[in-house]
A and B are shown apart, each in its own frame.
Chain A
């Protein structure tokens, strides 16, 4: 049996209502305790008490199967970076195991009346918070920025006072999209671009999973994506959608995640049926739909959604001759330093950006190398985890200091928040760089 066929024997599983039904046995049995996973775990690196991925996954699974042993509370300390999952030489599904263990722990053992639970619930449901905040962006920005609010947030809710909340864009991406004429305008523009490029043949169609961040905060990234994709002849659809669920996975709130997953699979599944491929500009969003949904939920059509989900840079690399497109480009961009997000590495998309721009005139791009930023979605937004978060990020901050670049480049909005916080750098997304190189020049 090939490796791939073998991994398919981990059937997608329905976690609730009866969580104990999930059978991870075959994965557990593959662990020969060689410890490779632990060598890459960023939490194990800074936190001496964290028992590490091998314990969180196969070991804990064995122990809890034996009977009355409860899940260890340390599952709460895992970043869900999935580095261990990639490192494991024996295909043990560590990410899946950690997600399940965390959900069990949060559901059955963690006090639902605690301040921490309430705070985690808010973070997990960031989509709702974002929606409220973005209704009155200027007021929200002022209120969240006030010293008194930050103090209250720390004391009452356990958000670290050191961090400032990301600003809300004055107009959401969806607002911009609909003002611009929605999907119909996009179809028109793409058609014109195809004509100008002399392309005939089938329509090129992508559906955009913008997630929360590109909609409420980094709207410039989404807009760059739109202009770039359209200029290459792609019609874009932007359907109604929910948060991808990443903050829910990370906080062990799988029932919430299941809800959003069902809605997203339904929406994007029917677009796949209509011939659309799916893209996201945030690597955690694309990884959720591509890897975590099928690992955790048994939803009709999830396999199709997963296999059509791409990171926006990766999609162009695979479907267009980007090197030829870039060959003529002349870009005037300040020197940059690239940071590959963990979830990009998990999907095998790291390296694409640096490789693409290696020979482009006017672009100087250096890589920070294989380091975790430490913010990890909601992790660094918890007061009690702030120090670990910054200690994990220290190696990345140092790499930025040493690199000649003045501007940072990364696909992940949370990495970019941490880079800004730790280095003061301005952060760009590869979509913005590609737009500059291919559309503006």
Chain B
């Protein structure tokens, strides 16, 4: 017997979560099934809409005027700028005051761990005091055992791109020592717990060590390790102890701002009434003509059926597991949707690591309602796609990852819900 709902969303990343929230808000009984954690744990926690349009060599201030000029094949070309606004509105509602950026349509410029400046549409509250448009002088503080952030180097890079303030980098020792190569969550938890160490507590000693190297800068940036469950408390205490503003610089995976965002979106989905089933992948489906009747979940060896009237495929791109490749072919594995790719495998990549790789744009092709198409034929009338499983854009180069997921997630979810 199948488990039945109105709308079934496959994939629990930002695209799946926004689809599910949008569908649930129409009143449809909605379920989200997901295999693993999403790409958000790897991503920075920033929500980019469009940082660079094709041909741009400087960050773009207004993403919306460029969206209108993108080619029709681009996911934004299919859903339009209004869908982007709706997707961001859904996001703002879901995360509440955890995020900033909603006051303006323009991109904000955020300082990255490599010391560059990145255009983004929404950023966590903890990152806000570090914006590059702010002209207060900045001290970047690295932690010697946290490998992802070399503060003096980042400061040099920032100075080299002529930011409108003075910036310096210093490195301090963390008050607690961890096994080699420990992940950022350890530092965050130590700050959350604030246990006693020699000369005080973890937060006190860290603040003392930073104070010793602070000159007259008005704000201090740390790698994004400032607490997990109590991160606002941690940041506020450091600010009060140092007497200057404190912010986080987003770091590589696993990324705390990304994980915090994932938690916030799951909470919002639960509040919207979405039923969530996680831990096992959808591997197959049954269809009758052009309609999907049910999908099958593999639960370690046997299969369980999930049935709905409308489906949203939000399984992510080559990184999330939604697009797979072997030596010969690139394919969407659940529904076997074709993915356009060069015949010759050597053309999938560019020899230059930073070059123009074809695989970054791999994904399924969709129509304007986001229904997957093959040779211009809609494949299933009740299936829509959202997020990085859709092809035709390169989120890394154009800085559009979460924006595309939100816009397409909003459209796929609300249209699926409206049909119930």
Contacts and interface: CB of A to CB of B under 8 A. Distances in A.
A363 B150 CA distance: 54
Interface of A: 1-4, 34-36, 38-39, 44-45, 48-52, 54-55, 86-89, 290-291, 294, 303, 306-308, 317-321, 345-351, 355
B300 A291 contact: yes
A276 to B, nearest CB: 14
Given A4-B283, A87-B37, A88-B36, A35 B254 contact: yes
Interface size class for chain B? Answer: 35 or more
A52 B182 contact: yes
Given A34-B253, A36-B253, A348 B185 contact: no
Q: A38, A89, A290, A355: which has the most chain B beta carbons within 10 Å?
A: A89
Interface of B: 1, 3, 35-37, 39, 41-42, 176-179, 181-186, 189-190, 253-254, 259, 275-281, 283, 297-302, 304, 321, 324, 326, 333
10 contacts: A1-B324, A34-B253, A39-B183, A39-B259, A48-B186, A303-B301, A308-B302, A346-B279, A348-B297, A351-B275
A48 B176 contact: yes
Contacts of B190: 48
B176 A35 contact: no
A187 B41 CA distance: 50
A301 B84 CA distance: 53
A390 to B, nearest CB: 15
8 smallest A-B Cβ distances: which pairs?
A348-B279, A307-B301, A35-B183, A34-B253, A348-B280, A307-B302, A35-B254, A38-B183
Contacts of A44: 185-186
A35 B253 contact: yes
B116 to A, nearest CB: 21
Given A34-B42, A306-B301, A321-B1, A348 B186 contact: no
A318 B1 contact: yes
- A-side interface mostly: helix
A351 B277 contact: yes
Given A39-B259, A318-B304, A348 B299 contact: yes
Given A290-B301, A306-B301, A348-B278, A317 B3 contact: yes
Given A3-B321, A52-B179, A317-B3, A36 B37 contact: yes
A408 to B, nearest CB: 21
A306 B254 contact: no
A350 B34 CA distance: 13
Contacts of A35: 183-185, 253-254
Nearest to B35: A3
A345 B279 contact: yes
A319 B1 contact: yes
Contacts of B280: 347-348
Contacts of A318: 1, 3, 304
Nearest to B316: A89
A2 B301 contact: no
A394 B36 CA distance: 26
A2 B333 contact: yes
Contacts of A347: 279-280, 299-300
B155 to A, nearest CB: 25
Contact of A4 (B181, B254, B278, B298): B298
A346 B42 CA distance: 21
Nearest to B280: A348
A81 B178 CA distance: 22
A351 B234 CA distance: 32
Nearest to B186: A44
Contacts of A355: 275
B188 to A, nearest CB: 9
A320 B1 CA distance: 7
A3 B36 CA distance: 12
A45 B254 contact: no
Contacts of A317: 3
Contacts of B279: 86, 345-350
A268 to B, nearest CB: 14
A351 B190 CA distance: 30
Nearest to A352: B277
Contacts of A86: 36, 279
A290 B181 CA distance: 33
A347 B183 CA distance: 26
A294 to B, nearest CB: 8
